[in-house]
Structure 1
């Protein structure tokens, strides 16, 4: 991804040098609870152990900020700026309303939010209660080295996906899904969350369409590969388990890649109606 000359976002909250701090650790009601249940890429019970060994002893030991961390932070800031540019254009053009961008919290090891505490092992997540996305910059190395999703555009897709959750929050979708989950069975609630996550993948594809001029050869394949590597079925197999569709919370590898590609092809938010789709 060609980011030279791209500005960094001002909507960055850097907590990397104060591990575990900020935001308040107590969970709150309302929509705040929803995103805890849909947190990051590794929230499902069947796959949550996958990254525990990666997290290791860093939980209680502040991580030294390396040069690689600083590069990741700068990269994150620039990618976030591209999402601000894109969605600030799409909202008035396609939705006839203004866009208010989220804050991206960078942390090292663990942190707290109004939606609950989180660590690097949970993966990136979005908290609608404070309208902030949370990212441990070390996750990019995990994505590449441990999950096999290499390339800078794979990392950019991760940020775009969390921003897409903010887009859903701006449009009232997160609140509506939370309301529907309240009276649903566990299987029904999981199915709703799958549709929510696949919609975020599609919205990430819409973003990719509008930053096409910044793409380099192979970038789109990096994003599609990342989507496949974090499918529920793939992660459950990687954890040594037989995939259990009723436990899925993010969609299969094929579904994630297909909805990202759909958003990229059309570049229209209206193409991302996963809740009205008969086939995911």
Structure 2
């Protein structure tokens, strides 16, 4: 279990979708959240590595928007501990609570849970894109089948690891509000010190900030986090570093998201400090 207490979840900013597609502008892939000509896929993953899913994701394969919306509306805190869709919804509730307290002027993004393909303000996208954030419509997009693929690639299927994926995309929304996305866009999309890498590492750090606060206070939605749960996030962050994905022939000049060690390190910085000001990856070359 991760979430504590009981009762309904706020689903006002969460909707279901899927089955869209067609020609259009390139969708913003996987967590990059930047209007780069080059698609920067979620955590640097090759879309060919994502071929389907299992568990909740695969059981949803025949569900349309109405069924997904009904599923979302049925979510409560108890279901969030056993159901991938409801876990996404509950995580958005926790993220909105934390960021509303930490950031003056914070406005929640929308979240769309989809199956297969979806139309976005940034153009069409598919499950192969992985979870992503589109700044044009301020929406985070998730196909839950991704979680099964993430485990196959060496990440964790633990609840907090899944919540980290959601928190990373919300980190991009925070960056959109602060202007960090725009700043990163001006600094280039590839290379070990590129704008893309800085944006992705900062989003990892902001996810760590959320994790620091999410289990604290009388109204905390998360149970006290354990070291094993934090280790599951570190495992996942390392599994999706550019050097891990690209293997022995990894060339830092082609990086878009940062190395395994960098991703784990910046999540740790956010989690240890609980202060978003410590996440300024633009102020240092010691990434």
- Normalised to the residue count of structure 1, the TM-score between the two structures is 0.81
Alpha-carbon distance in structure 1 between the residues aligned to 2:4 and 2:238:
25
Which secondary structure does the structure 2 equivalent of 1:104 belong to? strand
Q: 1:41 to 1:170 in 2, by over 3 A?
A: same
Alpha-carbon distance in structure 1 between the residues aligned to 2:265 and 2:230:
13
Which secondary structure does the structure 1 equivalent of 2:42 belong to? coil
Alpha-carbon distance in structure 1 between the residues aligned to 2:201 and 2:245:
16
- Would you say how many aligned residue pairs link Structure 1 and Structure 2? 252
Q: 1:35 to 1:83 in 2, by over 3 A?
A: farther
Which has the larger displacement, 223-232 or 162-171?
A: 223-232
User: Deviation of residue 188 (structure 1)?
Assistant: 5.4
Which secondary structure does the structure 2 equivalent of 1:26 belong to? coil
1:257 is aligned to: 264
Q: 1:32 to 1:154 in 2, by over 3 A?
A: closer
1:232/1:253 contact within 8 Å kept: yes
User: Deviation of residue 138 (structure 1)?
Assistant: 1.0
Which secondary structure does the structure 1 equivalent of 2:156 belong to? coil
2:201/2:258 contact within 8 Å kept: yes
1:35/1:115 contact within 8 Å kept: no
Pairwise CA RMSD of aligned residues?
2.8
List alignment gaps of at least 5 residues for structure 2. 27-32, 54-59, 73-82, 217-221
2:15/2:111 contact within 8 Å kept: yes
Which secondary structure does the structure 2 equivalent of 1:174 belong to? helix
2:148 equivalent to 1:141: yes
2:48 is aligned to: 49
Q: 1:233 to 1:25 in 2, by over 3 A?
A: same
1:63 is aligned to: 61
User: Deviation of residue 42 (structure 1)?
Assistant: 3.7
Task: Work out which of the residue numbers 32, 35, 40 in structure 2 matches 1:38.
Answer: 40
2:30 is aligned to: none
2:20 equivalent to 1:10: no
User: Deviation of residue 176 (structure 1)?
Assistant: 2.2
User: Deviation of residue 212 (structure 1)?
Assistant: 2.8
1:19 is aligned to: 19
2:86 is aligned to: 74
Alpha-carbon distance in structure 2 between the residues aligned to 1:180 and 1:236:
23
2:29 is aligned to: none
Alpha-carbon distance in structure 2 between the residues aligned to 1:163 and 1:259:
16
**Cα deviation per residue 1:76-102 (whole Å; 9 max; x = unaligned)?**
1000000000000001xxxxx221010
1:9/1:80 contact within 8 Å kept: no
Which secondary structure does the structure 2 equivalent of 1:275 belong to? coil
2:219 is aligned to: none
Alpha-carbon distance in structure 1 between the residues aligned to 2:40 and 2:259:
15
Alpha-carbon distance in structure 2 between the residues aligned to 1:279 and 1:179:
19
- Normalised to the residue count of structure 2, the TM-score between the two structures is 0.79
Alpha-carbon distance in structure 2 between the residues aligned to 1:32 and 1:258:
22
Alpha-carbon distance in structure 1 between the residues aligned to 2:260 and 2:34:
27
User: Deviation of residue 277 (structure 1)?
Assistant: 1.2
List alignment gaps of at least 5 residues for structure 1. 56-61, 92-96
